[in-house]
Amino acid sequence: MLKKMGFLMTLIGCNVYSMAADQTTSWSYHGNSAPEYWGILAPEYATCNGYNQTPINITGSIDAQLPNLNIDYPSHAHTIINNGHTIQIAYTDGSSIEVDGERFALKQMHFHTPSENHIEGQSFPMELHLVHANAAGALAVIGVMFEYGQAHPQLKQLWQNMPKTKNQPKVIHTPNPIIATEFLPKKQDYYRFSGSLTTPPCSEGVRWLVMKQPLQASKDQIQQFDEVMGTHTNRPLQNLNGRMIVH
């Protein structure tokens, strides 16, 4: 059953655990189905007009002495899919983080270009989302920014497996297993805020954990992703509406 769920999730994309009946209403980053219309495209996307939405500009954060996330990522990247909105990588079971005293299991990771969240008004060329869920299905997402610099070796291996055809999951073949820690910065200080999925149905109540320290990828690597997606893949910034950001 779990395996089946995992497969379904790789098919569906960004919206893990929100895969109800709404999968047929298509959305995009352009034209009539662009982000400004998501909230009215379908009744089940109404939350896209909500008040606790992501992405945001992370600024004015308050020191709350956030605890360590106790990141435990022993599992490896298993399948890769181009779902038409992003490139998404599913991991084998067994990796998790700790938030609010609970374990959240790593489900998948995917990319956006340019970054969705901003830090102190700054956009980054790419942002990685590591999506986790607890036993009750609540989500916690780690965001990691990429700046232009050295080529990222594991990203190179993933991109060698990148499917150009949509919705055809592929088993990843690399010389060595790719573990998710390769996609975390050395310093794991982070910002935290409450937000949403950044794609329809934009479900709220997502615990957002954005790493302060960026990773590096080459311009070429980021362009490769752009070329396969054929569009930018970032939702515009959303209003904070009184939410607090802590670090």
> Which residues are designated catalytic?
85
| Cβ at position 1, least distance to Zn ion in Å | 26
| Cβ at position 67, least distance to Zn ion in Å | 24
**Closest CB to Zn ion among residues 78, 129:** 129
Instruction: Please report how many Cα atoms fall inside a 13 Å half-sphere around the Cα of residue 186, on the Cβ side.
Output: 1
**Closest CB to Zn ion among residues 76, 129:** 129
Please give the residue whose beta carbon sits closest to Zn ion in the complex.
Answer: 129
**Closest CB to Zn ion among residues 79, 196:** 196
Q: How far is CA 181 from the centre of its chain?
A: 15
SS3 at position 39 = helix
**Closest CB to Zn ion among residues 150, 231:** 231
Q: Which residues contact 203 (CB under 8 A, 6 or more apart)?
A: 15, 18, 47, 139, 196, 197
Is residue 35 within 8 Å of residue 54, measured between CB atoms?
no
> Helices marked H in the chain — which ranges?
2-12, 38-41, 153-160, 219-229
What does the alpha-carbon distance between residue 156 and residue 111 come to, in Å, rounded to a whole number? 14
C-alpha dihedral sign at 174, 179, 183, 187: negative
User: In the complex, which residues of this chain contact Zn ion (CB under 5 A)?
Assistant: 129, 198
| Cβ at position 187, least distance to Zn ion in Å | 22
What does the alpha-carbon distance between residue 128 and residue 141 come to, in Å, rounded to a whole number? 10
| Cβ at position 141, least distance to Zn ion in Å | 7
